[in-house]
Amino acid sequence: MPTFDRLLTPLAVGQAVLPNRMVMGAMHTRLETLDRPHERLAAFYAARAAGEIGLILSGGFSPNAEGVMEPGGPLFDRAGQLDEHRAVTRAVHAAGGKIVLQILHAGRYAKVPECVAPSAIKARINAWTPRALSLDDIRRTIADFAHTAALAVEAGYDGVEIMGSEGYLINEFAAAATNHRDDEYGGSFEARIRFALDIVRAVRERLGDAPMLIYRISSIDLVEGGLSGAEIATFAQRVEAAGADLINTGVGWHESAVPTIAASVPRAAWREAIRNVKQAVGIPVMASNRINMPEVAEELIASGVADLVSMARPLLADPEFAKKTRLGLADEINTCIGCNQACLDRIFTERTATCLVNPRAGREIEFPAGRARVAKRVAVVGGGAAGMAFAVNAAERGHAVTLYEAAARLGGQLNLAKAVPGKAEFNEMLRYFAVRLAKLGVDVRLGEAVSAASLASGAYDEIVLATGVTPRVPEIAGIDHPKVVSYADVLSGKVEVGARVAIIGAGGIGFDVAEFLLGDARESLDADAFFRAWGVDAANAGAGGLANVANVANAVNDTTPRRSVHLFQRKAEPLGKGLGKSTGWILKARLRRANLMMISGATYDAIDDQGLHYRVDGAPQVLAVDHVVLCAGQLANRALHDELAARGIHAKLIGGADVAAELDALRAIDQATRLAVAL
């Protein structure tokens, strides 16, 4: 069994001592947009503190109105707000934790008309053009950072983190691309980093020595005109000299054309950029991005990359990450799979963050832990995401659960998903459920297609059906032709697909199949392969850490696609509109460089020996293909439900068996957890 001695060793940060090297990174949750926001935030962070995380970094709060992320976004600039923050700091301290407030001025990323920046240069990801700060504005902004830092300490925070990465205001000052000033805050490298250093000095002066002062530096900018690795190392030294106790690291700007945290990024891919910072300074350095298991974190510390690790999404996925690490229960950690579906994709579409693998995240008040008043005998049919999640949650509440799965292994559709390049993290979800089911004593019956008669025998107080879905077979002439295969046959490896392929249906699964047929799994597992594919200079030698800027926007085209693949949909709109906001662009960029042809507005006429006959705008066409893969959605599998109903037995439906349309693991696990909590 692996040991985590380094992760579990206390660390002095300034005058504070952290009990271990595991830190919850800053993440904006949007909980403040709900009712009882401070109570919810307090419960959210207190659960992580009780889970023994060494330090929590709050979501970012702007020091003034022009720096907010969006209208109504988090802002901490006046004493009247102290009490709402005290609710959070008290809860964290009562649970034995420490919490630091992150101060984040969004600069030209602020989605407000009054946004500001070092120079009036619009970001491609914002509709608003920023106003260039005057010298007076700069001095006022520095004072605002110090003011918010003082308020934070008054509210009980153990210190502050100054957000200097991801392309926000401070980063914009440091990079030549976004700073065209000709005063003392622009021009030379030394002048461009002055704004950051003035803020660090002003905050330190205001706070004195006791509170922690953390600075988050961009370890690699991944934008044209960003800093080089050598400049970043010097910058880190200056930050240390200005009074920081700890340097946290960020990766890339939000406008970068390189993915930085999605599951398609290999674990700990950014280690050398972080090591570059670590080697430059004497104060502790924190690693971040795609660190989701204690083994990864321990290795980063052991190999001298960093002194501690920051994990944001993994702490959404499992508030007890640190405690389980200490107790030798790492195999019970509910691992973040890097999908972004319930966290970033929801935040970017103005919804509150939660977690696909842990729907309790951010909803700690709605989902109280604890045992049910009456323990019941429960049968669950179907061992996919919904069935496993229900069984685990019901067993945790003290119910006696029997889980029937007709196949020889658990996982259902997850077993198909994990075969797709970039989705290997689904293996962790399967491991988590398998370990928890075993430890909770759930009676798992594999290879057992339970009958309605057996379920109706009276052995169970409750019957829950998670019987999943059946692929839809569209009505097209020749649909029985041997060329036609289902996505399940392809992803399971049952069918060896030829060199010319048509995919019918461009939902999440159609894109998954395209990636399966064209993608390269190494790119999400091996950092060198990833860097080559996305044009990153592993040595971070030039500006922004880009190997070849010209290649990055369209990505590198140095491999010949293995196949010719055409992806079809009937809707006239562009393909992929329903893909996740934070990951869809990555998938589409990869597939475009593999020459995936995307065809919308198609009508399917027939499939025969010649191939797929279809029309676009009325014009008949024939595509010669070896295979046509059906990804045309699914239908709920309710045969067992109907048989039970005929016997007068009411069974509860969850997951795809309940509603097949637009089913995904997020909805399945959420629904399963809610039902288990209500049982």
Tell me the site size for ligand SF4, rule CB under 6 A.
14
Contact set for ligand NAP, span 509-528 (CB under 6 A): 509-510, 512
Q: How far is the CB of 631 from ligand NAP (least distance, A)?
A: 5
Alpha-carbon dihedral of residues 22, 27, 33, 39, nearest 10 degrees? 10
Nearer to ligand SF4, 22 or 317 (CB): 317
Nearer to ligand NAP, 359 or 580 (CB): 580
Tell me the site size for ligand NAP, rule CB under 6 A.
22
Query: Look-up: residue for tokens 């000299």?
Result: 241
Among 580, 591, 628, 636, binds ligand NAP (CB under 6 A): 580
Please report the sign of the dihedral spanned by the C-alpha atoms of residue 210, residue 211, residue 215, residue 216.
positive
Contact set for ligand SF4, span 204-223 (CB under 6 A): none
Instruction: Identify what 336 binds: ligand NAP, ligand SF4, none; CB under 5 to 8 Å per kind.
Output: ligand SF4
Contact mark string toward ligand NAP, 458..487, x via CB under 6 A: --------------x-x-------------
Q: What is residue 18's three-state secondary structure? A: strand
Q: How far is the CB of 341 from ligand SF4 (least distance, A)?
A: 5
Residue 315 to residue 457: CA distance in whole angstroms: 43
Walk across the sheet containing 500-504 and list its strands: 484-486, 627-630, 500-504, 564-568, 597-599
Q: What are the structure tokens assigned to 518, written together?
A: 């064209």
Nearer to ligand NAP, 197 or 632 (CB): 632
Instruction: Identify what 316 binds: ligand NAP, ligand SF4, none; CB under 5 to 8 Å per kind.
Output: ligand SF4
Please answer whether residues 442 and 391 qualify as being in contact, where contact means their C-beta atoms are separated by less than 8 angstroms: yes
Contact mark string toward ligand SF4, 607..636, x via CB under 6 A: ------------------------------
Nearer to ligand SF4, 356 or 607 (CB): 356
Provide φ and ψ at 462, rounded to 5°: -135, 145
Please answer whether residues 414 and 385 qualify as being in contact, where contact means their C-beta atoms are separated by less than 8 angstroms: yes
Contact set for ligand SF4, span 47-66 (CB under 6 A): none
Query: Look-up: residue for tokens 């019918």?
Result: 504
Please answer whether residues 45 and 92 qualify as being in contact, where contact means their C-beta atoms are separated by less than 8 angstroms: yes
Among 47, 101, 337, 644, binds ligand SF4 (CB under 6 A): 337
Q: What angle do CA 530, 507, 405 make, to 5 degrees?
A: 90
Rama region for 307: left / alpha / beta (φ>0; ψ in -120 to 50; rest)? alpha
Nearer to ligand NAP, 631 or 636 (CB): 631
Query: Residue length, the chain?
Result: 679
Q: Applying CB under 6 A, which part among 129-137, 336-344, 499-507, 640-648 lies near ligand SF4? A: 336-344
Q: Applying CB under 6 A, which part among 33-41, 143-151, 458-466, 563-571 lies near ligand NAP? A: 563-571
Q: How far is the CB of 217 from ligand NAP (least distance, A)?
A: 32
Among 664, 668, 669, 675, binds ligand NAP (CB under 6 A): 664
3-state helix, strand, coil split of the chain in percent (to 5) is 35, 20, 45
Q: How far is the CB of 356 from ligand SF4 (least distance, A)?
A: 4
Is 388 one of the binding residues for ligand SF4 (CB under 6 A)? Answer: no
Instruction: Identify what 313 binds: ligand NAP, ligand SF4, none; CB under 5 to 8 Å per kind.
Output: ligand SF4
Instruction: Identify what 505 binds: ligand SF4, ligand NAP, none; CB under 5 to 8 Å per kind.
Output: ligand NAP
Nearer to ligand NAP, 398 or 474 (CB): 474
Strand-pairing partners, residue 218, are 250
Among 133, 297, 355, 466, binds ligand SF4 (CB under 6 A): 355
Q: Map 298-362 to HEC letters.
A: HHHHHCCCCCEEEECHHHHHCCCHHHHHHCCCHHHCCCCCCCCCCCHHHHCCCCCCCCCCCCCCC
**Active-site residue set:** 168
Is 344 one of the binding residues for ligand NAP (CB under 6 A)? Answer: no
Residue 348 to residue 585: CA distance in whole angstroms: 14
Q: What is residue 20's three-state secondary structure? A: coil
Is 357 one of the binding residues for ligand SF4 (CB under 6 A)? Answer: yes
Is 633 one of the binding residues for ligand NAP (CB under 6 A)? Answer: yes
Q: What are the structure tokens assigned to 87, written together?
A: 């609710």
Angle between helices 426-439 and 385-396 (to 10 degrees): 40
| CA end-to-end span of the chain | 36
Residue 251 to residue 182: CA distance in whole angstroms: 28
Q: How far is the CB of 192 from ligand SF4 (least distance, A)?
A: 33
Q: How far is the CB of 569 from ligand NAP (least distance, A)?
A: 4
* Helices (H), ranges, 352-474: 385-396, 414-417, 426-439, 452-455
Is 338 one of the binding residues for ligand SF4 (CB under 6 A)? Answer: yes
Q: What are the structure tokens assigned to 501, written together?
A: 């392929």
Is 74 one of the binding residues for ligand NAP (CB under 6 A)? Answer: no
Among 634, 637, 671, 673, binds ligand NAP (CB under 6 A): 634
Here the contacts of 370-374 (C-beta below 8 Å, separation 24 or greater) are 370/397, 371/397, 371/398, 372/397, 372/398, 372/399, 372/679
Is 106 one of the binding residues for ligand NAP (CB under 6 A)? Answer: no
* Helices (H), ranges, 519-603: 527-534, 549-552, 584-593
Instruction: Identify what 510 binds: ligand SF4, ligand NAP, none; CB under 5 to 8 Å per kind.
Output: ligand NAP
Alpha-carbon dihedral of residues 552, 558, 563, 568, nearest 10 degrees? 20
Among 101, 343, 380, 636, binds ligand SF4 (CB under 6 A): 343
Among 340, 402, 415, 524, binds ligand SF4 (CB under 6 A): 340
Q: How far is the CB of 505 from ligand NAP (least distance, A)?
A: 3
Contact mark string toward ligand NAP, 491..510, x via CB under 6 A: -------------xxxxxxx
Nearer to ligand NAP, 298 or 512 (CB): 512
Is 662 one of the binding residues for ligand NAP (CB under 6 A)? Answer: yes
- Interface residue list for ligand SF4 (CB under 6 A): 313, 316-317, 336-343, 355-357
- Interface residue list for ligand NAP (CB under 6 A): 341, 472, 474, 504-510, 512, 569-571, 580, 631-634, 662-664
